[in-house]
Structure 1
Amino acid sequence: MSVTPRQVKNKRNQDGVSTSRTGTVYDVFIRYKTDEGYKTYGKRGFLTKQEALNHEAEMRTKLTRPGYQPLQTAESKQTVKEYLETWVENHGKANLRPSTFAGYKSHIKNHILPYVGNVPLKQLTPAMLDNMFQKLFDKGLSQSTVRYAQRILSVALEAARKYRYIETNPARDIITKFGKNGKTPDPYTVEQMQRLMCNCIGTEWEMIIVLSGMYGLRRNEVLGLRWDNVDLKNKTFSVVEQLPYKVPPGTMIITEMAPTKSNDRILPITEITLPYFERQLALQQKQKELAQLSGQEYYDNNLVVAKPNGAPLRADRVTNNFGQMLRHLEMPHIRFHDLRHSAATNMHQLTGDFYTVGEILLQTLKLSPLSTWMCGWTEKRPCWTPTTMPCIRKKL
Structure 2
Amino acid sequence: MIISYSQTFFFSFPYTAPDGAKKTYTKRGFATKRDASQHEAEMRTKLQNPGQIASIASQRKQTVANYLNEWVESYARVNLRPSTYDGYKKTIANYINPYIGGVALNQLTPAMVDKMFQQIIDKGLKPSTAAGAKRVLSVALSHARKYRYIETNAAKDTLTKFGKNDKTPDPYTPEQVKALMQRVEGTVWEMPVILGWLYGMRRSEILGLRWRNVDLENNTFDVSEQLPFKVPPKTKVIEEMAPPKSNGRKLPITELARPFFLKQLAMQEAQKEQAAKDGKPYYDNDLVVAKADGAPIAASWVSSQFGKLLEDLEMPHIRFHDLRHPYVKPTTKKFTTFFEDFRAAA
TM-score of the aligned structures, taking structure 1 as reference length:
0.74
Q: 1:280 aligns with which of 259, 264, 273?
A: 264
1:377 lines up with 2:306 in the alignment: no
Shift of 1:311: 0.6
Q: How far off is 1:325 after superposition?
A: 1.5
Question: By how many angstroms is 1:306 displaced?
Answer: 0.1
Q: 1:189 and 1:126 mapped to 2: Cα distance?
A: 41
Q: Which deviations, in whole Å up to 9, do the C-alpha atoms of 1:111-150 show, x marking residues without a partner?
A: 0111111222232222221111110011122222111111
Other structure's SS at 1:140 match: coil
Change (3 A) 1:27 1:169: closer
State the secondary structure of the residue aligned to 2:290: coil
After TM superposition, the structure 1 stretch with the greater mean CA deviation from structure 2, 119-128 or 223-232, is 119-128
Residues 186 and 195 (structure 1), Cα distance of their counterparts in 2 relative to 1, 3 Å cut: same
Supply the distance in 2 between the matched residues of 1:192 and 1:158 (Cα, whole angstroms).
42
Q: CA deviation at 1:162?
A: 2.3
Tell me which residue corresponds to 1:390: none
CA–CA separation in structure 2 for the residues paired with 1:146 and 1:312: 34
Aligned to 1:45: 21
Q: Which amino acid aligns with 1:330?
A: E
Distance in 2, matches of 1:380 and 1:125, equals 58
Do the aligned partners of residues 183 and 154 (structure 1) sit closer, same or farther apart at CA in structure 2, a change above 3 Å counting?
closer
1:176 pairs, out of 120, 139, 160, with 160
Corresponding position of 1:317: 301
Give the whole-Å Cα distance in 1 for the aligned partners of 2:97 and 2:15. 35
- Corresponding residue SS for 1:178: coil
Q: What's the secondary structure of 1:238's corresponding residue?
A: strand
Equivalent residues in 2 for 1:1-396, closer than 5 Å? 28=15, 44-46=20-22, 49-50=24-25, 60-62=44-46, 71-343=55-327, 347=328, 360=329, 370=331, 372-381=333-342
Counterpart Cα distance in 2 of 1:179 and 1:290: 53
- What amino acid is the match of 1:258? A
Indicate conservation of the 8 Å contact 1:201/1:384, yes or no.
Answer: no
Distance 1:72 1:58 in 2: 12
* Structure 2 unpaired stretches of 5+: 2-12, 27-39
The one-letter code of the counterpart of 1:252 is K
- Provide the rounded CA distance (Å) in 2 between the counterparts of 1:111 and 1:333: 26
> Could you say what the CA RMSD is over the residues aligned between the two structures, in angstroms?
2.9
Calculate the TM-score normalised by the size of structure 2: 0.84
Query: For 1:122 and 1:171, how far apart are their aligned partners in 2?
Result: 13
Give yes or no for contact 1:27–1:43 (8 Å, CA) kept in 2: no
Unaligned runs of 5+ residues in structure 1 are 2-25, 30-40, 348-359, 361-368, 386-396
Cα deviation for residue 179 of structure 1 reads: 2.0
C-alpha deviations, 1:235-282, integer Å up to 9, x for none?
Answer: 111111111122121111111111112221111111111111111111
